[in-house]
Structure 1
Amino acid sequence: MSRKYLQYYLSSPVFRRWISSSVSGVTGSHTRAKSKDILTQPVPVPPLAEQHRIVETLEEQLSRLDAAEAQLSSVLRRSAGLEKKRLDILAVGRSLRRSGNEDLNSLEESKTGRFDEGSLIELPRGWKWRRASAVCEQIVSGSTPKAHLMSPGNGDVPFLKVYNISPRGFVDFSIDPTFVGTGTHEGSLKRSRVFPGDVLTNIVGPPLGKTAMVPDMYPEWNINQAIVSFRAGADLTPRWLALVLSSPYVLGMLKRTSKATAGQFNIAVSTCRDLPIPCPPIDEQEKLNEAADQWLTLSESVRGAVANSRVRATGLRTALLKRAFGGGLVPQDPADEPAVTLLARIAAEREAAKPIRKATKRAARPRKATAVAAATKIAPAPTPASATSVQQELFDQ
């Protein structure tokens, strides 16, 4: 029997469905099927020549699918790279030159000294470098209350955790939503209240720097201690602030200040307040926001098209394997040796390969004197032939 044919069958949806319905035990988080059940599972066996034709056709068609899926992955990688470059172009301009003295005249004095102002790139004319603390009304980190003050699924005020900030730049509150009561929100968590339009960035990771704007699903929210909230002031629009904090250049400056502790990377809130922010005029911010929205919409369209193509590729792969083991992938040839002859030959070869066991003489055991004991002595039953010998041979071939 063709090993390749058997390998493809074991990866087919038919066999996987049988495995899923036949699991019998649980080890940790894994389920498993009994080996004896797998050995007795019927396998469709066409003539050997047809097996080779099936394998040849499968390899040809699946290699095309593999190449198509590799191209889809390449499109995603290139799209992600272009998106990052576009964000940098919008957020800090195209220049790669270091900033001149004029660009730094408006930059307030650093309180932490964690950023090298001399390495800042030159901004477009009319833009200024400013400290985040100077252009934001508020920059605060959150806090986590005691467990009994949080409730999963429903409650008064939504409580955001790092996993609720999507890497794609939005708040996803469908993931394990948590709430706190109004008393907690206005009491011990009063300092970490956030509102729609505030910009959130996680400062504990990895990964660091997931950024999103608070949506208007609820009038007020709260955040845990691994998230910092930026509230835009009069010189910034919230959308521009979110764009800047998503820029690889600006976000990279912030990440480089992180410190590792017990396998985690942490950014200080004081560093977030000291972060240099590129500030163009408000009207230019609005235009750049619109350009960013158009670019991000295009990127989402590309990702959606790739996702749909991957679903189609998975469906084609499943259909191809199903057809292969249903007899519809390649034509049958009446001249092929029948499968029953192949199975009979496998069984005969297996039987011939069995080692010959020689009878050994055992020492006679003393018999008990009573006739009842002799009459009730049970002779050993003959060993039946294995019901799965042919199936075992299929796996051995």
Structure 2
Amino acid sequence: MMSEELPKGWIFACIEDVLASDGLFCDGDWIESKDQDPNGEVRLIQLADIGDGKFRDRSNRSLTYEKAIELNCAFLKSGDILVARMPDPIGRACLFPLKGNEKFVTVVDVAIIRLGTKSIAGKFLAHSINNRWIRNKIENLQNGTTRKRISRSNLATIQFPLPPLPEQERIVAKIEELFSRLDKGIESLTAAREQLKVLRQAVLKRAFEGKLTNENVKDGELPEGWKWVELKDVADVSGGITKNSKRESYKNKMPFLRVANVGFNYLDLYDMHSLGVLEHEAARARLKVGDLLFVEGNGSIDQIGRAAIWTGGIEDCVHQNHLIKARLDDTVRPKYVLYFFISRMGRELIKQVASSTSGLYTLNLSKIEKLRFPYCFANEQSRIVSEIESRLSVIDKLEESIDQALKQGESLRQSILKKAFQGKLVPQNPDDESASILLERIRAERETADTKKAAAGTRKASGKQERRVSTRRGRA
């Protein structure tokens, strides 16, 4: 709601206003690593599981039922609304879809909303929380220095626009109809983008089989005049400079290219560091346009050996020891070699060289020197690079169009929610009972339930789970 004006029959309400007597609004539980058990029968739902309107179902942590009881955990129920109190994005909400009695708990940075049996439409509230207008309110109430989060007490202060119950149901039905269509479109676009990755690799495969420039090449054979060579045969391969505290006292400071600056076929020079360097080190590690750079090591096998070409974006720059530099001779075109080593065939060769008996994947100077690639004459390398780039440029443009369409899809999703909570998505029915009467009925039902409990003699809660379910209080 972009203004304080509401459609007729609507009202502003907070989360606690709409909880029935059997409702629940609390944080998840503080469950440490020592409390967890991979063989436990109670699954621990984590922040990674909470998507923006969808349950992601990504985690695999658990604990025993006995430990959950010992910690007085709040067990989740199917249909609970889970709200992520930490990024990204902060405040994202989804309905919990999994079923099972006392089978699921969640972490402390997830808020649990259980509306109860005589309340508003749960899906309506979940969509409302994911609306950009409410999300902005959540972001404005977040606190913390290094780790931003919104407290449950702050979340409880946020008011959301509430229509009559029948209109809530019509809004939810329309949102889900439109989101279903949108999701199908996004699914098709995502599949098309994945297909472009396959097409990109197909272009590289044909290039290094020699088929981009010679369609008569037989499968499994190199074209006539081609041969496999090792990198050391056509390049001077060298390491870089090791960073240490002593270098702070060196007078000669130079820009210093790090592993973080090197991606697959691109350099990110936005966050550059400088380093004290001795004259003889600078001569060895200074970068030159056309130098091929390989990442020596990375925790992920899919990232080890990623490569890029130095294009001279920063003057007089050196590189760190975890980047290995290959300075190619005049018979080899840097882009030709780079395209090979980012192709599937080249990546497989890098993985083979990087493997070890210990199961770890590492690269070093000698391993990089032994990397092999299909060598042909320089003029044919240039032709192949030209053919590759001609085809990849078309793929790049298609990919840009798809990415733009995906962004528009997300904007459309927010546009749908905006209209929904302005009362403009579905027709209003003047015969619908107003939201104010609905809230009054929910409040009266809570008071009646509390009165009955008081008359029967309130017994002390036998644990946090009972206390949470029988009241509407929880940790802030």
Match in the other structure for 1:42: 159
Match in the other structure for 1:58: 175
- RMSD between aligned alpha carbons? 2.8
Shift of 1:47: 1.2
Residue 320 of structure 1 pairs with residue 416 of structure 2: yes
Match in the other structure for 2:322: 226
**In 2, distance between residues paired with 1:2 and 1:359?**
31
Which structure has the highest helix share of the two?
1
Q: List gaps (5 residues or longer) in structure 2.
A: 1-119, 213-218, 458-471
**Counterpart code for 2:314:** Y
**In 1, distance between residues paired with 2:359 and 2:322?**
15
Is the Cα contact below 8 Å between 1:235 and 1:279 reproduced in 2?
no
Residue 31 of structure 1 pairs with residue 149 of structure 2: yes
Match in the other structure for 2:288: 195
**CA 359–287 in structure 1, closer or farther in 2 if over 3 Å, else same:** closer
Shift of 1:243: 2.0
Is the Cα contact below 8 Å between 1:91 and 1:243 reproduced in 2?
no
Residue 165 of structure 1 pairs with residue 284 of structure 2: no
Deviations 1:3-59 (A, max 9, x none): 111111111112211111112456x623222x3333343221211111111000000
**CA 208–24 in structure 1, closer or farther in 2 if over 3 Å, else same:** closer
Shift of 1:164: 0.8
SS in 2 for 1:187: helix
Structure 1's consecutive aligned runs of 4 or more residues displaced over 4 angstroms after TM superposition are 260-264
Is the Cα contact below 8 Å between 2:142 and 2:148 reproduced in 1?
no
Shift of 1:344: 2.0
Q: How does 1:34-113 map to 2 (within 5 A)?
A: 35-93=152-210
**CA 129–356 in structure 1, closer or farther in 2 if over 3 Å, else same:** closer
Match in the other structure for 2:349: 253
Q: How many residues align?
A: 329
Is the Cα contact below 8 Å between 1:204 and 1:264 reproduced in 2?
no
Residue 212 of structure 1 pairs with residue 308 of structure 2: yes
Shift of 1:121: 4.9
Using the TM superposition, name which of 43-52 and 232-241 deviates more.
232-241
**CA 261–179 in structure 1, closer or farther in 2 if over 3 Å, else same:** farther
Deviations 1:79-115 (A, max 9, x none): 11211221122123359xxxxxxxxxxxxxxxxxxxx
**In 2, distance between residues paired with 1:84 and 1:18?**
45
**In 1, distance between residues paired with 2:434 and 2:140?**
31
Q: How does 1:206-355 map to 2 (within 5 A)?
A: 206=300, 207-259=303-355, 265-354=361-450, 355=452
Is the Cα contact below 8 Å between 2:354 and 2:367 reproduced in 1?
no
SS in 2 for 1:256: helix
**Counterpart code for 1:63:** S
**In 2, distance between residues paired with 1:93 and 1:301?**
25
Match in the other structure for 1:180: 275
**Counterpart code for 1:46:** P
TM-score (norm 1): 0.75
**In 2, distance between residues paired with 1:36 and 1:290?**
61
Match of 1:9 among 107, 128, 135: 128
**Counterpart code for 2:201:** K
Deviations 1:170-211 (A, max 9, x none): 11111x211235xx1633343222211111111212311211
Is the Cα contact below 8 Å between 2:186 and 2:409 reproduced in 1?
yes
Is the Cα contact below 8 Å between 2:353 and 2:371 reproduced in 1?
no
**In 1, distance between residues paired with 2:365 and 2:427?**
69
**Counterpart code for 1:194:** L
Shift of 1:358: 5.0
**In 2, distance between residues paired with 1:310 and 1:62?**
14
**Counterpart code for 1:193:** R
Is the Cα contact below 8 Å between 1:162 and 1:227 reproduced in 2?
yes
Shift of 1:224: 1.4
SS in 1 for 2:448: helix
Is the Cα contact below 8 Å between 1:157 and 1:185 reproduced in 2?
no
**In 1, distance between residues paired with 2:328 and 2:456?**
93
Equivalent pairs: percent with the same residue? 27
Is the Cα contact below 8 Å between 1:149 and 1:180 reproduced in 2?
yes
**CA 306–190 in structure 1, closer or farther in 2 if over 3 Å, else same:** same
**Counterpart code for 1:203:** E
Shift of 1:276: 2.1
Shift of 1:356: 4.2
SS in 2 for 1:139: strand
For the pair shown, the structure with the greater C-alpha radius of gyration is 1
**CA 177–219 in structure 1, closer or farther in 2 if over 3 Å, else same:** closer
SS in 2 for 1:194: coil
Q: How does 1:369-384 map to 2 (within 5 A)?
A: none
**In 2, distance between residues paired with 1:140 and 1:261?**
25
**Counterpart code for 1:51:** Q
TM-score (norm 2): 0.64
**CA 70–268 in structure 1, closer or farther in 2 if over 3 Å, else same:** same
